[in-house]
Chain A
C-alpha cells in the first residue's frame, strides 16, 4: 500500500501527462528501408516445409535464387507475371532441345552464395535432387512438370546443368521458376545433415544458404523478419541489385491497424487489407492502390457431386441460376475483382479454351425453378452451406445473400461457419455438401486447372466430380504441343464444365496492393505476394 502515497500518485500522473505531450520520435531515416506488413506470418525460411505460409514464400524468393524466373507483362495497364516468358536467374541462358526432352542451363559465372562461395552445377544438382527426393512440398509441385526423379538431373561441367524429361512437358520450365526449387549452397547445407535428416530440413528451416538478393538479419517466427541487401546480387530486371538496403516484413494481425499504418506513412506497402479499407484509401487519393484481378485464382460455390441432392446435374444447374451474382459481388468484394458470371456465349458454346472464363449464368429464378422441378425437387430441399472463418469478411455477406435467394425457390439453407482446420478436414473427407472455397494455380493453364481441381479424389477436387470424359481430355491436353488442338481441348473442357456445372466459378478477387505514392515497380506475382526485389522508391 506504500504506492498509495500522494507523491507517487502525482508522479504517475505526471508521467502520463508527459506521454500525451511528447511528440513522435523518428528513429532514423527510412528512405532506404522497405517496411511491409501482413496479417499472416513467416514461419519458415525454407519454403518447402509443410505448413509454410505465403509470406514465407515471399521471403524465400528474396533470399534464394532459382534457375529461372518469370518475366512480366502488362494486363489492363498493370504489371503481372508472364507465364510464357521465362528468363534466367541463376542460369544465364537455357536451351531446349528440338524434341523438347532436354533443357540445358548455362549458369552465371559470377554468381556467388551469400557466404562468398561460387554457385556451381553441383549445388544445382543437390538442390533439385532434394526437391524431388525429400518429403517436402516441392516434390508434389515439380511432379506437375514431369520432374520426379534425381536421375533426370545431370551436371555437365561446373557451369552447365542438364534436365531430361520423359515427355515434352510445357510446365517443366515454369515449374523451375516457382517458389520451391530454390538453389541451396550444398556445401553449407551438407554440413548440417544428420542421419534422420539427410536433406538438412531442420537446419534450413531456420537458416538460409542461398544466393538471393537479401540476407536474413533477424527472424522471429510469427513476428517479423528483417533482411539486409546482398550488395553483390545483380539479377534484378536489367541486371541491377535490389533497390532497398533493408527490408522489414512484419505481422500485424488487425486489418484496420494495417490500413492505419500505411495511411500514416509508417508502412510502405500492404496487400491484404479489407476490401472496404482498400476502397476508402483509394478514394482518399493519397496513396497508390494497384488492384489486379488475381487472374490465376477463382472463388467458387462448390457442390458435392457425389452427395444427394447435388448428385443431380439439374439441381446444380438450378443453383447456378438462383444466385444473386451482382449483389454478392458487391457485398463481398465491394466490386473489386473480375466476375466470372453473366457472360453471353453466342451459340451456347464456349468462346475460348482458356480457363477460367465467365460462365453464361445469371440470376433467373424461373429457369432455376424449372431445373429444380426437372430434378424431382419441385418443393426444394434443405441443406447446409459452409465457409471458412478465415474468409468470413467476404463469405459471410455472400452466404446471407445466397440463403435469401435460394429460399425463393424453396431451398432452405443453414449457414455453417467452420474454423479453418475443421473446414480443411471436412473438405478432404468430402463431407461438406455445399460450400465456398477459393483456389489458386501458380501455373494457370487450362489443363492444369482441370487436372488439379476437377479430377481425382484428392482434396482439391472440391466438387468431387468424376467425369471420365473430362479426365481423359485434361490428361491428354497436358502433353498437347499443338496450340490449335490444345485450344480445341480447352473448349471441350469448358463445354463439359458448363453442361455439368459441378461448381460455380464466381469471381477472381482483386489483389489490392496499397502503397506509398513513392513506391514503383509493383508486379502481381503467381504466389500472390510482393516480390520485394521488384520495388524501388522514387
Chain B
C-alpha cells in the first residue's frame, strides 16, 4: 500500500505538528528570500521600460487648453524627468526602499495610497471569481473524467470552450444586459456597492468582511450582489483550464493501481473518488489555480472596466495610456510581489497535500 493516501495519513499523524509548522515556515522564508533578486530585477526592468516607451507624460498632462512649454517643463520637473536617467533610477530605488512609490499625476495621489486602496477591490473580486471557478470546475472535471467520451464529457468540453473563447468584456456586457438591463435582478453595474449605501469603516478593505465586522447585513448583501456578476464573468474565463486539468489528472489517478485495489476491496464509490482519486489528482489543480490567480489579478482589467470596479488593473491601464510612470511601475512591482506570494502559498499547500514534497 505504499504511496496510497492511507499510508500517508498515519505518518502525518505521527509527526509533531509544531515541528512540521516550523519546517514549513523556514522553507517559506527561504523561498521568499530567494525571490528578492527577481523582484529587484523587475523593479529596474519596468523603470527602464517605461522610459523607453514612446510618449512624453509631461506633454500629455500639460494638454489642457493653453498649456505651453512652461507648463510642460513644470510637470517634467515635478516628475523628476529633467534629471539624467541613472540619477532618476537611483532616486527611484531610494524612494522604493522607503516604501514610497511616487505620485500619480492621473489621480494626483500617492501611488502607495492608490494601490493600497485599490488592491483589496481587485483581490476580493479575484478571490471570489477563483472560488466560483473552482467550485464549478472541479466537479465538472470530475464528472468528465468519470465518464470520458460520454455526453457529459462533451458537454463540459463545450462549456469550457465557450468560456475561454468569449472575451471577458463580451461576457461581462452580456451578463449586464441580461441580468441588469433585461430582467433587472442585478444591481447597477458600477463599483463595489450601491452608491446610495454608506460604506462600512474600512478595516480590511474587503467589503464583504468589513460589512460583517460592522454588523451591517443589508450592506453586506448589497456588496455581495454587486460582486456576483463581475466574479462570474471572470470565473467563466478561467473555468476551462481548471476543469481540463482536473479531468486529466483525475483520469490518470482513476486508472492507477491504488484505485483498482480500492475498488477490488469493495470500498464505496464516493470514498474511492473523493478520498483516493481526487486527493492524488489535486496537486496539478493547485498549481494551475495559483497561476490562474496571479494572471487573473492583472488580466481582469477588462472586467474592472466593464463593471467600473475600482481595482488595480484598470488603474494601471489608465496610467499606461497616459504614460504616467509611477503607477505603472508600482503596479508591476505589486504584481511581481503577489506572484511571489502566490507561489509561496502554492508550495505550502503542496506540502500539506503531499508531505513527501516538503522533505529536503
Contacts and interface: CB of A to CB of B under 8 A. Distances in A.
B321 A140 contact: no
A441 B105 CA distance: 24
A20 B184 CA distance: 10
B95 interface: no
Nearest to A54: B64
Contacts of B78: 50
A497 B113 CA distance: 50
B306 interface: yes
Contacts of B66: 137, 140-141, 143-144, 452, 460
Chain A interface residue number, banded: 35 or more
Looking at A37, A141, A253, A389, the one whose CB has the most chain B CB atoms below 10 A away is: A253
A264 B188 contact: yes
Nearest to B184: A24
A28 to B, nearest CB: 5
Interface string B300-324: 0000011110100011001001110
9 tightest A-B contacts by CB? A421-B55, A51-B61, A221-B107, A27-B196, A421-B323, A422-B55, A140-B66, A421-B60, A425-B56
Interface string B182-202: 001111111100111100000
A22 B197 contact: no
B196 A252 contact: no
B68 A256 contact: no
B298 interface: no
B108 interface: yes
A25 B222 contact: yes
Interface of A (DSSP majority class) = mixed
A205 interface: yes
Contacts of A346: none
B62 A224 contact: no
Interface string A12-46: 10001001111111011010010101000101100
B71 A223 contact: no
Chain B interface residue number, banded: 35 or more
A419 B107 CA distance: 19
Given A50-B67, A221-B107, 20 more contacts: A4-B138, A19-B185, A21-B185, A22-B225, A50-B74, A141-B66, A205-B108, A222-B107, A222-B114, A226-B195, A254-B173, A254-B306, A260-B176, A260-B177, A260-B180, A266-B188, A419-B321, A421-B56, A425-B54, A428-B56
Given A4-B278, A421-B322, A51 B59 contact: no
B106 interface: yes
B350 to A, nearest CB: 13
Contact of B69 (A41, A419, A458): A458
Contact of B68 (A21, A27, A458): A458
B181 A140 contact: no
Given A51-B106, A260-B180, A223 B65 contact: no
B282 interface: yes
7 contacts: A21-B185, A25-B221, A137-B66, A137-B67, A140-B67, A256-B173, A428-B59
B140 to A, nearest CB: 12
B135 A9 contact: yes
Nearest to B353: A1
Given A27-B197, A222-B107, A424 B60 contact: yes
A222 B318 contact: yes
Given A220-B310, A458-B68, A419 B195 contact: no
Interface in A422-467: 422, 424-425, 428, 440-442, 452, 458-460
B104 to A, nearest CB: 8
Interface of B: 54-57, 59-72, 74-75, 78, 105-109, 114, 117, 134-135, 138-139, 169, 173, 176-177, 179-181, 184-191, 194-197, 218, 221-222, 224-225, 228, 274, 278-279, 282, 305-308, 310, 314-315, 318, 321-323
A143 B67 CA distance: 11
Contact of A43 (B70, B74, B107, B134): B107
Contact of A420 (B60, B179, B221, B278): B60
Contact of B308 (A9, A257, A264): A257
Nearest to B64: A137
B59 A424 contact: yes
A52 interface: yes
Nearest to A48: B64
Interface in A248-273: 248, 250-254, 256-257, 260-261, 263-264, 266-267
Contacts of B71: 50, 135, 137, 140
A22 B195 CA distance: 19
A223 B191 contact: yes
Contacts of A250: 190-191, 195, 308
A222 B185 contact: no
Interface of B (DSSP majority class) = helix
Contacts of A266: 188
A50 B274 contact: no
Contact of B185 (A1, A3, A23): A23
Contacts of B184: 23-24, 264
Interface string A202-231: 000110000000000000111110100000
Contacts of B176: 257, 260
Contacts of A442: 65
A221 B107 CA distance: 5
B69 A141 contact: no
A206 B104 CA distance: 14
A16 B68 CA distance: 56
A49 interface: yes
A440 B69 CA distance: 19
B344 to A, nearest CB: 20
Contact of B106 (A12, A35, A222, A254): A222
A140 B64 CA distance: 10
B105 A51 contact: yes
Contact of A24 (B69, B187, B282): B187
Contacts of A226: 195
A538 to B, nearest CB: 21
B284 to A, nearest CB: 14
B189 A257 contact: yes
B308 A252 contact: yes
Nearest to B136: A12
Given A51-B106, A221-B109, A420 B321 contact: yes
A251 B318 CA distance: 13
B65 A253 contact: no
Nearest to A13: B135
A4 B140 CA distance: 12
Given A50-B61, A51-B61, A141-B66, A425 B55 contact: yes
A30 B107 CA distance: 29
Interface string A40-66: 010110000111100000000000000
Contacts of B187: 24-25
A419 B315 CA distance: 16
Contact of B67 (A28, A254, A459): A459
Contact of A222 (B55, B70, B197, B315): B315
Given A420-B321, A425-B54, A425-B60, A135 B74 contact: yes
A174 B322 CA distance: 31
